[in-house]
Structure 1
């Protein structure tokens, strides 16, 4: 789509749509106990949603009973995994935003979070610009949170932690007016380590930096099952987004420290079949005042016939709904 307004002009204007303090109140506050029964939006990652046969991404969400989607956002502010038969979605121009907003409103669905695949140690300057632009786009679209990825791709290049802290400080400062929050996913060998997460959060020192809680990744990393709930509780007040995922290990491997990634491909499974008790997870989050989404990320769908995958996702959404209502 074309527009006489440049992306930079648009994003600068968008950043003024909401005052910074108002946006922070909308996106960042935790729910007091009296409001803790507010339902969580039930969502699905767009990478997972591709397994649902539907005319467009909004119809796919409805087919599995979800109302929200985690949308992968690219460097050019396009959304390559939000599928539609006649158009490609983007947030690069006002016309693009209006089109996407209109389709969301017409469908009754929403984007609950952006997903970014960051390379902070490889291209820090580009990342600062991109993430700030994504936050401005999120504000314009009413998206409260952005999943960011902190992965050490250059392990011999120096102090990865300190470099990441400095980059994230710049991003937080540059996106202050948006009020949008950032959730570092516990992902891979680095951010599944609580010591690293603690040092990162302390070093950045912003309430707008928190966690995208991937329930399965802590388990994948090797943490015993009983320790998972302690970790969920430890970070619950910092959680801004979720990846609801599970594994079903043999009984003798559940509550022991396992090698990282031990037989994940063999034992990963839908959340309604795994070892992690999501009623307990939801209670931990609710008690901490959590007010964001419950988003499924099923990495075991490849084990099922293609025709059965949508039903498996619908069953997971229904299970999360039951957990949230318990």
Structure 2
């Protein structure tokens, strides 16, 4: 079934739409007291291919670890870095534990953050903006420009953005979204930074809306933060998810790795949007989504950023449980990478 045949609940007129520090497990072996064998094992370890992508997490998950500072939390989880929330004032509120909040608003602020990242051996793989484009369009263009300049300076490869209707009716939102994002692309052209729309909510989880938006904006710097779980949350049947992932894979600039464990009889249904999510969302290693398939699709499309874990069930876990759960998710993604031939 093609993308245009996917069912959706969004009242958009269809005629408008176009169709690493990573540690790899090399296996458990019994070492005999034979120098040649030990040497061969060492050579094999050196020749292991590096991972394709760093494994990161949303920085909103860090405090749940109970760690005194964000760097310790990243170490406890075992992640290589984070996607970092950024405020209107260019403050990074979830990078905590220093004498003062981290910011990227000035060159001095960015130098301080760069030094902290280098000291910790971590990275920021995306800034996460929480946009309100139709409520304050002029401010949003200016804010996107400031964040893009900071990303360019710091080597952050992508900016996750919200493109959802808040004020404008959904059936009229496409025209507005195309116009405002063209302005953002023009204002940030010199930076070369890529903007990644997250598929979420009742609009950008519709593949046909995304197709129309990306096509009409017409910029190679506009793509997706592919949230693997949100398309499933929206109601798309499990078997159709991989078609959607493959369709958009060339435009994926960032990811949210997330899953749901629905009852077997519900997985291939077109479910109501958000059906029983609070009951069935789960760690990615327990969910229905086959991440071996997901990573193979991304590899084929030459995806080049991170695998960012977004676990929305941590709020009901203790700190110890959160550390264990996220660490297992990290190990799971690294294992899936190692399995890619």
Structures share fold, TM-score greater than 0.5: yes
Per the TM alignment, residue 265 of structure 1 is displaced from its structure 2 partner at its CA by: 0.0
Find 2:292's aligned residue among 279, 297, 311.
279
Task: Name the counterpart of 2:320.
Answer: 307
Aligned positions of 1:120-199 closer than 5 A: 120-156=133-169, 159-199=172-212
Tell me, yes or no, if structure 1 residue 42 matches structure 2 residue 55: yes
Find 2:108's aligned residue among 64, 85, 95.
95
Find 2:83's aligned residue among 39, 53, 70.
70
Deviations along 1:239-263, one digit per CA (max 9) or x if unpaired, are 0000000000000000110000000
Find 1:219's aligned residue among 232, 240, 252.
232
TM-score, normalised relative to structure 2: 0.83
TM-score, normalised relative to structure 1: 0.87
Tell me, yes or no, if structure 1 residue 256 matches structure 2 residue 269: yes
Per the TM alignment, residue 289 of structure 1 is displaced from its structure 2 partner at its CA by: 0.4
Task: Name the counterpart of 1:18.
Answer: none
Task: Name the counterpart of 2:43.
Answer: none
Task: Name the counterpart of 2:335.
Answer: 322
For this pair of structures, how many residues does the alignment match?
A: 291
Find 2:257's aligned residue among 227, 234, 244.
244
Verify the 8 A CA contact 2:257 2:307 in the aligned structure 1: yes
Deviations along 1:231-290, one digit per CA (max 9) or x if unpaired, are 000000000000000000000000110000000000000001000011111110001100
Per the TM alignment, residue 303 of structure 1 is displaced from its structure 2 partner at its CA by: 3.2
Relative to structure 2, which stretch is displaced further, 302-311 or 52-61?
A: 302-311
Q: How many angstroms apart in 2 are the aligned matches of 1:262 and 1:37? A: 39
Relative to structure 2, which stretch is displaced further, 37-46 or 90-99?
A: 37-46
Deviations along 1:275-318, one digit per CA (max 9) or x if unpaired, are 00111111100011001100000011233233311111111011
Tell me, yes or no, if structure 1 residue 59 matches structure 2 residue 72: yes
Q: Which has the larger radius of gyration?
A: 2
Find 1:268's aligned residue among 247, 266, 281.
281
Q: Structure 1 residues 267, 158: closer, same or farther in 2, change over 3 A?
A: closer
Verify the 8 A CA contact 1:55 1:85 in the aligned structure 2: no
Q: How many angstroms apart in 1 are the aligned matches of 2:338 and 2:246? A: 19
Q: How many angstroms apart in 2 are the aligned matches of 1:247 and 1:253? A: 11
Q: How many angstroms apart in 1 are the aligned matches of 2:298 and 2:140? A: 30
Task: Name the counterpart of 1:298.
Answer: 311
Give 5+ residue unaligned stretches, structure 2. 1-48
Q: Structure 1 residues 94, 195: closer, same or farther in 2, change over 3 A?
A: same
Give 5+ residue unaligned stretches, structure 1. 1-35
Verify the 8 A CA contact 2:131 2:161 in the aligned structure 1: yes
Task: Name the counterpart of 2:302.
Answer: 289
Per the TM alignment, residue 189 of structure 1 is displaced from its structure 2 partner at its CA by: 0.2
Deviations along 1:209-232, one digit per CA (max 9) or x if unpaired, are 000000000000000000000000
Per the TM alignment, residue 61 of structure 1 is displaced from its structure 2 partner at its CA by: 0.9
Find 2:120's aligned residue among 73, 98, 107.
107
Per the TM alignment, residue 319 of structure 1 is displaced from its structure 2 partner at its CA by: 0.4
Find 2:248's aligned residue among 235, 240, 245.
235
